[in-house]
Structure 1
Amino acid sequence: MKNLFKLCATAALIITAANSAFAADSTDLKVQGTLIMGSCTPTLSSGGVVDYGKISLGDLKTDAVNQLGQKQITLTLTCQSPTKVAWSTQDDQSSSVIDTQPVIDNNTQPAVTNEFGLGTTSGGVNLGSYAIIAANNSEPNVDGNVGYIRYSDDNTATWTDGGIGGAYNRNDGSRLMTFVDASGDPLAFTTASDVLKVGASVQDTTTLAITDDTPLNGQATISVRYL
């Protein structure tokens, strides 16, 4: 997603008491924005597919959540010229999210806001969820150098260190992630990449009540935000 023109409108309106001799009869509206030179494109390794292959129902638990394990995929942001950008992730299957706390790096308790849906069975039962962590331990690479991950949950007002383990992606697109240097400031770059760690889990087979082959159907959209 390319956002080359950022537009905001501001207006100020002053209303005085009806008996004031200096009542304002006009107000100003300003349109502001910045046309930037660069544009950035996100790409994912493996064609953007995290594949768990064929999973036998006979190997799954009948009375407890089933952890499917951890996978990795690499996100790369490529810009035409050095540009400061962040990215966010929006769940395209949010209606099928169910809190199955998928395991990543032995962390078994992601908040439900960090879980993404895996679709439903033919009977309409939510299959499970997956979570995504942006790695932050020597994995981020910014123009050939080691970078770091920070995230913002308040629309760039503040940035928080992703920590050694990295940072969860939010399923509603509200969390922005960016590449920073050792001082914590967002970096302008032409090429940056990071490993996204993905963990998935599904409900117990008794709840799922599957009677036919059923595909996992998770999908999310990664969007670029210019800083």
Structure 2
Amino acid sequence: MNTPCITLSILLLAGAQHAQAASTVDLSVKGLITPTACTPLLSSGGLIDYGKISQQDLNQDKGTRLPVKHLQVSVACNAPSRFALRMRDNRDGSAMVNSEIYYGLGLDTSGNRIGLYSMTFDPRQTVVDSTALIYGTESTTGGLAWRTANLNPIDIGANSYLGFTDTEGSTVGPSAIQELISTVKVEAVINAKQNLDLSTDTLLDGSATMEVVYL
């Protein structure tokens, strides 16, 4: 009669010891506060204004491309710094195409997606400090690996890092930069008219935040 009780007691004790061994875990919080500070600026207060667009100028069954716009992006640092750029869509989920390089223009009164836009950096249209020629690079791994630096235009993304280097073919990421000035191409597309509720005025309501990521 006593044996089952003894066996049960041993099993409970073993379980209690196992729970006690796993009841704590260490957390480390690390980082680096640096005196470096970089300030990004956009020309025209960061406003791209297409004015009034008549619905009769929109394509019925396919997207309508709006005229290309240009915006000047500058980043000024208090000392040469390694940094990258990325952009967060403040209208996330409203772009017609689900991709990190497309940003939404908001929703119409019926909840339809109005359109999308993208922003493209061109190394040939970018000036860095006193460097004669600059090359673009990007990382889709949070800075662990970098694309071979070249002169190809790069669309800024929400998840990828975009940077510049003075070394063609480099795979080590951005160079230390104190001042960057780039003319960026902005391209917008309005959704097909058949997909929109245009019974009232429809506001293009794109909004995004550009971020400097210190490396």
TM-score using structure 2 length: 0.80
Give 1:33 deviation, angstroms.
3.0
Residues 27, 144 of structure 1: alpha-carbon distance in 2 compared, 3 angstrom cutoff:
same
- Does 1:217 pair with 2:212? no
- 1:181 aligned partner: 166
Give the distance between the partners of 1:217 and 1:49, measured in 2 at CA: 11
Query: In the alignment, which residue of structure 1 is the partner of 2:191?
Result: 203
Q: Assess, with a 3 A threshold, how the Cα gap between structure 1 residues 130 and 28 changes in structure 2: closer, same or farther.
A: closer
Q: Which residue of 1 is the match for residue 36 of structure 2?
A: 38
Alignment of 1:1-227 (within 5 A): 31-99=29-97, 112-136=99-123, 138-145=124-131, 146-161=133-148, 163-170=150-157, 173-183=158-168, 184=170, 185-227=173-215
Answer 1 or 2: which has greater helix percent. 2
Alpha-carbon spacing, 1:162–1:201, altered in 2? closer, same or farther (3 Å): farther
Percent identity for Structure 1 against Structure 2? 30
Alpha carbons of structure 1 residues 135 and 180: separation in structure 2 relative to 1, 3 Å: same
Count residues in correspondence.
190
Helix, strand or coil at the partner of 1:55: coil
Let me know the Cα RMSD of the aligned residues: 2.2
Distance 2:49 2:148 in 1: 30
Q: Is the 8 A contact 2:135 2:151 kept in 1?
A: no
Match of 1:9 in 2: none
Distance in 2 between the 1:202 and 1:180 partners?
A: 35
Indicate the residue corresponding to 2:4 in structure 1: none
Offset of 1:75 from its aligned partner?
A: 1.1
Matched residue of 2:195: which SS?
Answer: helix
The amino acid that maps onto 1:127 is I
What is the CA-CA distance between 1:29 and the residue it aligns to?
6.0
Stretches of structure 2 that go unaligned for 5 or more consecutive residues are: 1-16
Structure 1: how far apart are the matches of 2:26 and 2:176? 35
Which of the pair has more CA radius of gyration? 2
| SS in structure 2 at match of 1:155 | coil
Q: Partners of 1:201 and 1:59 in 2: how far apart? A: 13
AA matched with 2:160? R
1:163–1:202 CA distance, 2 compared to 1 (3 A): farther
Q: Tell me, in whole angstroms, the C-alpha distance in 1 between the residues paired with 2:110 and 2:141.
A: 38
Structure 1 runs (4+) deviating above 4 angstroms are: 26-31
**CA–CA distance in structure 2, aligned partners of residues 189 and 74 of structure 1:** 17
1:139 CA displacement: 1.3
1:57 Cα offset (Å): 1.1
The alignment's TM-score, normalised by the length of structure 1, stands at 0.76
Residues 164 and 66 of structure 1, relative CA distance in 2, 3 Å threshold: same
